[in-house]
Amino acid sequence: MTDNDQGDDAPRDSLFEAPLEAEQERMVEAILFATAEPISIPELNARLPHGCDAERALDALRRRYEGRGVAVVRVGEAWAIRTAPDLGYLMQKETVETRKLSRAAIEMLAIIAYHQPVTRAEIEEIRGVSVSRGTIDQLLEMEWIRFGRRKMTPGRPVTFVVTQDFLDHFGLETARDLPGLRDLRASGLLESRPPPDRDTGGDEDDEGDDQNEMFED
């Protein structure tokens, strides 16, 4: 009876004392291995025993897997394990046929990624043609884009932003890591510049701010 009582007390202690760091690393490893989806740090912390520090464990784990056949990668605000890209040729069996995107869809995806949050009118202005409903639907369905918050401009139009799935698919840690983003910004090509025959009010600044917020470093 007494022994039993002590046995019951033991796990109780662990509720108040966090597991060792090496143990926390094992736990994060197990959780990340179990899923194909990226997992956020709050979600990890929720699943780890009380007192664990998922962020630190992740850091250790990431270093451990450096140069291995799989890697711990960051996807937006979440983390996942992915095979090393140089070994892709071994995975022919696992290759997923992705639906071929039209040129228009690819262009629109790039515009949304580099200009987010961006309205439909802005996409049309950049491409010089009207946006087809089907193309937006396709990107939404693939969950590569989603609706962002509305713009603070007249009509409060909805905006589009890229998703975590998009980052995951293209192996991007954050939207800031988009190829060539820095150069584009430096050359002013991402600035919202309305045609000169229209009123150039203060709206322009707001839009600029929105964008900056999105890509804040």
Partner 1 sequence: MPEDAVHLDEIAARRAAEALIVDVDGYEGPLDVLLQLSRTQKVDLRQISVLQLAEQYLQFVDEAKALRIELAADYLVMAAWLAFLKSRLLLPPDPQDEGPSGEDLAAHLAFQLERLQAMRDVAARLMARDQKGRDFFPRGQTQMVERVRRVRYTATLLDLTQAYARIRTRDEFRPYVMDRDKVMTMEEALDRLRPLVGFAGEWTDLSSYMPDGWDDDPVKRRSATASHFAATLELVKAGHIELRQGETFAPIELRAREAVGD
List, edge to edge, every strand of the sheet that includes 39-40: 39-40, 78-83, 70-75
Options 9-17, 18-26, 60-68, 125-133: segment touching partner 1 (CB under 8 A): 125-133
Options 44-52, 101-109, 151-159, 188-196: segment touching a copy of itself (CB under 8 A): 44-52
Using CB under 8 A as the binding rule, whether residue 30 contacts a copy of itself is answered as yes
Options 63-71, 139-147, 163-171, 176-184: segment touching a copy of itself (CB under 8 A): 63-71
Closer of 18 and 126 to partner 1 (Cβ): 126
- Picked from partner 1, a copy of itself, none, the partner binding residue 214 (CB below 5 to 8 A depending on kind) is a copy of itself
- Picked from partner 1, a copy of itself, none, the partner binding residue 124 (CB below 5 to 8 A depending on kind) is partner 1
Of the residues 63, 106, 149, 173, which one makes contact with partner 1 according to CB under 8 A? 106
Smallest distance from partner 1 to CB 134, Å? 12
Q: How far is residue 18's CA from residue 11's CA, in Å, rounded to a whole number? A: 11
Partners of residue 74 on adjacent β-strands: 79
Options 9-17, 48-56, 58-66, 104-112: segment touching partner 1 (CB under 8 A): 104-112
Using CB under 8 A as the binding rule, whether residue 25 contacts a copy of itself is answered as yes
Using CB under 8 A as the binding rule, whether residue 16 contacts a copy of itself is answered as no
Using CB under 8 A as the binding rule, whether residue 81 contacts a copy of itself is answered as yes
